[in-house]
Structure 1
Amino acid sequence: MKCTTTLRLLLYMLLAGMNTSLLAQSLKVSDNKRYLIKEDGTPFFWLGDTAWELFHRLDREEATMYLEDRADKGFTVIQAVVLAELDGLNTPNPYGDSPLINNDPTQPNEAYFEHVDFIVDKAEDLGMYIGMLPTWGDKFNKRWGVGPEVFTPENARTYGEFLGERYKDKPIIWILGGDRIPEEEEDFAIIRAMAEGLANGDEDTHLMTYHPMGGRHSSEFFHEDEWLDFNMYQSGHGQKNTPNYEMTAHNYQLEPVKPNLDGEPNYEDHPINWKPENGWFDDADVRQAAYWSMLSGALGHTYGDHNIWQMWQEGREPISSARTPWKEAIDHPGSQQMEYMRQLFESRNFTELIPDPSLVVNAEGEDRHIAAARGSDFMMVYLPANSSVEVDAQKLSGKRINAWWFDPRTGDSVSLGKFKNNDSYTFRTPIATKDWVLVIDDANKAYTTPGEMLFGMNK
């Protein structure tokens, strides 16, 4: 069911008894430590977008346009940075305001934060959470970028407490770091002090994670820290077919058990390895990264578009060969296809999923990774471009099974019929050169068609 933003909100308000404050429910880790849920126990599907420069570069009309588009496409988390990467301390926002007085983290500029407030409130009205980065990483570790480094452990704690108190009643997820790793002891001290300040300010009501540089994991540095509620890694933009499923699987095996996700995979319309002569990542690359990670144990997934993170438009210097104005890039096909992915997982009990490569007995065709996972009564297998796959569904409940092909490009499904659940079966993709998801259910559970949703997405 396709819903406009307005219809989505009306449906949500009806279901919530007209109490829009429910949109701001705090999130928590599920009992199995693999996923996120809301306070009322409702599963939460993280479908993120990297809008790093949202607070810094967009005015209120533009921010509203962007957020309404993302809500309409089913996004649930908007990842944005308060002290932004692109000279965020010294180049003011569209209203002429910089975030800090004298670049002092203990002296926030009220006018700047009123603009941040507007965007946070608008996202809340639309049923989305802000994955808020207090700062980009160059403000504590200027390995590259603009900087300057302005943080100490002392002012990081003060700044964190300010943010935590200001947004304690808002739908926020804290994301520390910002494309950097801690390298010196002071870097570790700054991050931990900021986390402490955030928790003190918001009375420990919001989840926290850490966004590292490309190819790295938050778990490398903070996995055993109590403030780190779930792990985030960045698979990045360096090559085609980056095996992000290995990164998800790495974190999945760690103790203590914590949820994890790819917080920055390859961006749609990004030059491969930052070189246009290598070609550009497209929607197929975006889909592959998403399904690979999800079926390897991720709590959700973050999408990104190279033009949107920087809010590029004519007249602005393009970072790393950005070529499409952001108001056009919001309609790139990958972002719409992320909605189909969310619909697919939410049409099943996705918080029960367990990665299980043994479900695949054999496959013919291209040799890229096939990702497979199962719940107690359903399974999903992602084929990047294979022509056929032999699967064993006998780990599922039920004597009979339903099988479907789900098209991740369109959100449509093709029924393959019912089968006895006492043998392995081989299924051939409708189009061998395209990616598909094989969905198999216990026939007695009466699941809907894969991807079919009863109500609007952001509810």
Structure 2
Amino acid sequence: MAYFPTRWLTLAAFLLIGCAGPPAETVPVWGRFEHTFTTAAGPDTRIAVTFTGPDGTTRTVDAFWDGGTTWRVRFMPEAQGLWRFQADGPAAQTVSGTFEAVPAPDAANPFLRHGAVRVSDTGTHFVHADGTPFFWLGDTAWNGALLASEADWQAYLQHRRAQGFTGIQFVATPWRTAYTDAAGQVAYTTGADGLTINPAFFQRLDRYVDAVNEAGLLAAPVLLWALGDPAAMPVPGKLPEAQAITLARYLVARYGGHHVFWFLAGDENYSGERAERWRRIGRGVFGEGHPAPVTLHPQGMQWHVEALRSEPWLDVLVYQSGHGDDANTLRWIHSGPPAQHWASKPIRPLINAEPPYENHLAYQSRRPHTAYTVRRAIYWSLLNAPPAGVTYGGHGLWSWETRPAVPLNHERSGMAPPWHEALAYEGSQDMTHVAELMSTIDWWRLRPAQNLLADQPGRDDPARFVGAARTAARDLALLYLPVGGSVRLSEAAGTTAYWFDPRTGARHEVEGSRQTYTAPDDQDWLLVLRGGRPLRGGRPLRGGRPLRGGRPLRGGRPLPWQARTG
């Protein structure tokens, strides 16, 4: 991450700390502290607040305007002990105080138990603050936080969490498929006076972002969706650069105290002058440091990586394999730019954040994508580079339809069912088995290993491509066979082996070490090879629970793991 802590070393700082009063509030370590204050400063004023930890480490975040004369600042403490905060600028005389960061009471929440998510030192995957590997298994709910009722959103999150998902991708401002939120509100307006934030829009959104973290899921908001018609609405990603930076910085100030994975932009082609534009916007938003990971969401089969890979604010490389199903698309997924360039420096986690959506019409055949075609793209994506994670999407849920409809401005995607029907797609249950498999292996040690194969059937038919990965220690290998059959290895690999059924999660043990393995049938299978060590534990995840209506979100009140003052 591009975050470099500093320390207070001056006598003045020492005197300020020594004179501060007792802490007014407590907040769990890795929870969220919020302080509310009033000031006559205009909405466009930047008010920076510096937080000083128990060891003297400091971090500065922006406060945000919340309507009228109300301002707030949110912060996530990463260490136990006494924290102090002090504003700069016009609020310096009135905004200061202390709070105590205490051990988290909710051991079930992974972020409170292990800490915030960051990129690993190897640059290949995510880890929590305590070093625990974090596997990104995202779900696509682009319109969810904008259009869902609070009860439905809560029920959806609990269902996905029970299935083993670890994060939710959603759009944080109106875009081409939702011009307003469910209350008819817009996030901002533009005019002669520039960009004007609408706090009421974000006050509603607060409860939805809170709920994602409360469910133990990483929130992945898209800040500035770029594709859209400016004649229909002021497209966030097409705003003048200064306004785009202002809007994105507002979102970062408002949700930077949450557990997040920032998608700075969505559905953009980051090439040529567009790459330069987003380079400037990225630096304007995240150039001063950021603890949470940042990425960009591109258009389908667009490889923007080389133009922006070295940007210090760009922590994760996301790509979209899209919704095609022809031979060229299949080759792009398993043998295209991600497979060819993952090892280029600096190494970043690579994630397919938009493989084909289940039941979405394929671009070429015009047939709906099935659980199989989605599953195939997902496993290929996990083996074409060091696995960091992948995102699933279901047609009807991503657009949050409440009745059968073609999603707005997506005429070629096909008729979509209501979100609650899409929630039960077969492919989403298959993601439970992705989570189950990853919970039993050291997935973060795997690297692509096509040299493990003596023969690659995908050379003649891209639909038969066998994905393969192995650890540097050669004590674990994982292969994906999309149409069953036999696989011949270039050498004997592992002393124990089993076939993993990606449809049921069942295991079929294989006796003895060999170089040729034959799948149980002609469906897709995964072959897990181990170098003699027994399988690691890992309890099977429960399947998705049926919806029960969901309890209303606790709008306006602190969640169990956050504190507010003011």
Q: Distance in 2 between the 1:182 and 1:387 partners? A: 40
Q: Does structure 1 retain, via aligned residues, the 8 Å contact 2:104–2:112?
A: yes
Task: Give per-residue Cα distances to partners, 1:112-141, cap 9 Å, x unaligned.
Answer: 1122211111111111011111021136xx
| Structure 2: stretches of 5+ with no match in the other structure | 1-102, 544-566
Match of 1:129?
Answer: 218
1:302 paired residue among 363, 387, 391: 391
1:280 paired residue among 343, 357, 368: 368
Q: Distance in 2 between the 1:448 and 1:125 partners? A: 29
Local SS of the residue matching 2:485: strand
- What's the offset of the Cα at 1:110? 1.6
Match of 2:207?
Answer: 118
Q: Distance in 1 between the 2:132 and 2:196 partners? A: 39
Q: Does structure 2 retain, via aligned residues, the 8 Å contact 1:176–1:191?
A: no
- What's the offset of the Cα at 1:188? 3.2
Match of 1:164?
Answer: 252
Match of 1:265?
Answer: 355
Local SS of the residue matching 2:396: helix
Equivalent residues in 2 for 1:58-97, closer than 5 Å: 58-86=148-176, 88=178, 91-97=179-185
Local SS of the residue matching 1:237: coil
Task: Give per-residue Cα distances to partners, 1:205-259, cap 9 Å, x unaligned.
Answer: 1111110101112304311111111211111112246231223213313222111
Q: Does structure 1 retain, via aligned residues, the 8 Å contact 2:498–2:528?
A: yes
2:406 equivalent to 1:312: no
Judging changes above 3 Å, is the alpha-carbon distance between structure 1 residues 350 and 195 closer, same or farther for their aligned structure 2 residues? same
Task: Give per-residue Cα distances to partners, 1:344-397, cap 9 Å, x unaligned.
Answer: 12211111101101212237799411011112211111000131112245566x
Local SS of the residue matching 2:246: helix
2:485 paired residue among 376, 384, 387: 387
1:408 paired residue among 489, 495, 502: 502
Local SS of the residue matching 1:305: coil
Match of 2:433?
Answer: 340
Q: Distance in 2 between the 1:31 and 1:395 partners? A: 28
2:451 paired residue among 354, 358, 379: 358
Q: Distance in 1 between the 2:383 and 2:150 partners? A: 37
- What's the offset of the Cα at 1:279? 1.2
Task: Give per-residue Cα distances to partners, 1:255-292, cap 9 Å, x unaligned.
Answer: 2211111111111101110x7x6311101111111111
Q: Which has the larger radius of gyration?
A: 2
Judging changes above 3 Å, is the alpha-carbon distance between structure 1 residues 31 and 395 closer, same or farther for their aligned structure 2 residues? farther
Q: Distance in 2 between the 1:52 and 1:195 partners? A: 25
Q: Does structure 1 retain, via aligned residues, the 8 Å contact 2:496–2:512?
A: yes
TM-score if structure 2 supplies the norm length?
0.69
Q: Distance in 2 between the 1:284 and 1:128 partners? A: 26
- Once the two structures are overlaid, the 10-residue window that deviates more, 247-256 or 230-239, is 247-256
Local SS of the residue matching 2:515: strand
Local SS of the residue matching 2:146: helix
- What's the offset of the Cα at 1:190? 5.0
Q: Distance in 2 between the 1:183 and 1:389 partners? A: 39
| Structure 1: stretches of 5+ with no match in the other structure | 1-14
Local SS of the residue matching 1:22: helix
Judging changes above 3 Å, is the alpha-carbon distance between structure 1 residues 359 and 85 closer, same or farther for their aligned structure 2 residues? same
Q: Which amino acid aligns with 1:35?
A: H
- What's the offset of the Cα at 1:157? 2.1
Q: Distance in 2 between the 1:16 and 1:378 partners? A: 35
- Once the two structures are overlaid, the 10-residue window that deviates more, 250-259 or 387-396, is 387-396
Judging changes above 3 Å, is the alpha-carbon distance between structure 1 residues 206 and 195 closer, same or farther for their aligned structure 2 residues? farther
Match of 2:263?
Answer: 175
2:302 equivalent to 1:209: no
2:304 equivalent to 1:218: yes
Task: Give per-residue Cα distances to partners, 1:313-357, cap 9 Å, x unaligned.
Answer: 327553321332211011101111112112212211111101101
2:362 equivalent to 1:237: no
Judging changes above 3 Å, is the alpha-carbon distance between structure 1 residues 253 and 112 closer, same or farther for their aligned structure 2 residues? same
Q: Which has a greater percent of helix?
A: 1
Local SS of the residue matching 2:256: coil
Match of 1:427?
Answer: 517
- What's the offset of the Cα at 1:294? 0.8
Q: Does structure 1 retain, via aligned residues, the 8 Å contact 2:384–2:448?
A: yes
Q: Does structure 2 retain, via aligned residues, the 8 Å contact 1:269–1:305?
A: yes
1:154 paired residue among 242, 246, 264: 242
Local SS of the residue matching 1:159: helix
Q: Which amino acid aligns with 1:405?
A: W
Match of 2:512?
Answer: 418
Provide the identity percentage.
Answer: 29
Q: Distance in 2 between the 1:212 and 1:144 partners? A: 22
Judging changes above 3 Å, is the alpha-carbon distance between structure 1 residues 454 and 315 closer, same or farther for their aligned structure 2 residues? closer
Task: Give per-residue Cα distances to partners, 1:156-187, cap 9 Å, x unaligned.
Answer: 22222211111122111111221112467477
1:52 paired residue among 122, 138, 142: 142
Query: What RMSD over aligned residues (CA atoms) do the two structures have, in Å?
Result: 2.9
Q: Distance in 2 between the 1:170 and 1:23 partners? A: 15
Q: Does structure 1 retain, via aligned residues, the 8 Å contact 2:114–2:128?
A: no
- Once the two structures are overlaid, the 10-residue window that deviates more, 20-29 or 205-214, is 20-29
TM-score if structure 1 supplies the norm length?
0.84
